[in-house]
Amino acid sequence: VVMDVGTGSGILAVWAALAGAKKVYAIEYTDMAKHARQVVEANGVSDIVTVIQGAVEDIKLPIAEDGLEAEEDGSTLVVDIMVSEWMGYFLLRESMLDSVIRARDKYLKKKTGLMFPSHCTMYVAPVFDEDDRMQSVHEYSHTMDDWSEFVESTRSLYGVDMGVLGKDFDREQKEYYLLSSRWAELGASQVLAEPKAVKYYDMTTCTLEESRGIAHGEEMATFDFDVDADSTDDECISGIAGWFTSDFKSRTDEGGADAPKINAAFLSTAPEAGYTHWGQQVMHFQSKIPLLQGETTRLQGSVELMRTKENARLYNCRLRFFNSRRKTGEAKDGNILMQGPAVEHVYQIP
């Protein structure tokens, strides 16, 4: 028995039926459920796939009607495999991980059930992306020039001073142009150091609390990058990029010892993996960090990812970092040539 959470067009549910599933439940909250039913019918699997419209937290499976066998008497643990394409930009943005976890806890067999994807990992790395960074800076500057001209013309033509709104306008433009992450299709050569994993999810055991993001102070959420100017042709660090990988493999938790073993598959949205619609999210620095020949730049800091107050499916990313330089070959904690100030920015992930 398979459950597809957030089935959308129904394609994963159809694939599950074609792969031999005895029964598939395709859950969809939106009116896309109507189109999913059409796709199921057109592909001749309507005897296997049942499309149910509603929130997965609220729906009820026809357990008795379909003669499903629960793992425990009287329980709703009837699903052998749960699939869902819930991943968003930088894994969590606009994701429905909460719903997947609730569906898992309600319907997936605890001892033998499988989750696909089974494990997900979030990564960050320093990158060179100067063209896009400078474009954002120029667009911000151009917008503020337009504002100054507007304020002056309104004052001279109509005798009204709009300058009082300048600070609020400037803040809004900075948030949009300078403090919003940008979707990018980076090349592998633009990544300036070995990526650092900042969050790991075992989809069989992760909790609702863990699904909320990356909390301040989490051990994995720190980074410490060395960028050797002599090993790259790039002239500076433009910002930090984030992406994710998803594994489709056997269970690794202690409670899953009796679960079926499978041939593993792997999805990566990293720059070296080529194009995916997820791409990477780049958080550009407001000022680039130059790379100087004969020197190594060290970038230390942490990542925090938290839901916005306005929309639980959207996220802000807080970067805290500082940089220092030392002669290439000098020990990591050896003689420091320069240390920059601590920087903290909050980026919207639009």
User: Cβ contacts of residue 14 below 8 Å, gap of 6+?
Assistant: 39, 40, 43, 45, 49
pTM: 0.94
| Catalytic machinery residues | 85, 94
2-5 and 81-83 beta bridge pairing: parallel
The per-residue pLDDT string of the chain (350 residues; one tens digit each, 9 = 90 and over) reads: 999 999 999 999 999 999 999 999 999 999 999 999 999 999 999 999 999 999 999 999 999 999 999 998 889 999 999 999 999 999 999 878 999 999 999 999 999 999 999 999 999 999 999 999 999 999 999 999 999 999 999 999 999 999 999 999 999 999 999 999 999 999 999 999 999 999 999 999 999 999 999 999 999 999 999 999 999 999 999 999 999 999 999 999 999 999 999 999 999 999 999 999 999 999 999 999 999 999 999 999 999 999 998 888 889 999 999 999 999 999 998 999 999 999 999 999 98
Do 124 and 198 touch, CB atoms closer than 8 A?
yes
- How far CA 19 is from CA of 120, 295, 350, in Å, comes to 24, 55, 37
* CA gap 90, 296 in Å, rounded: 28
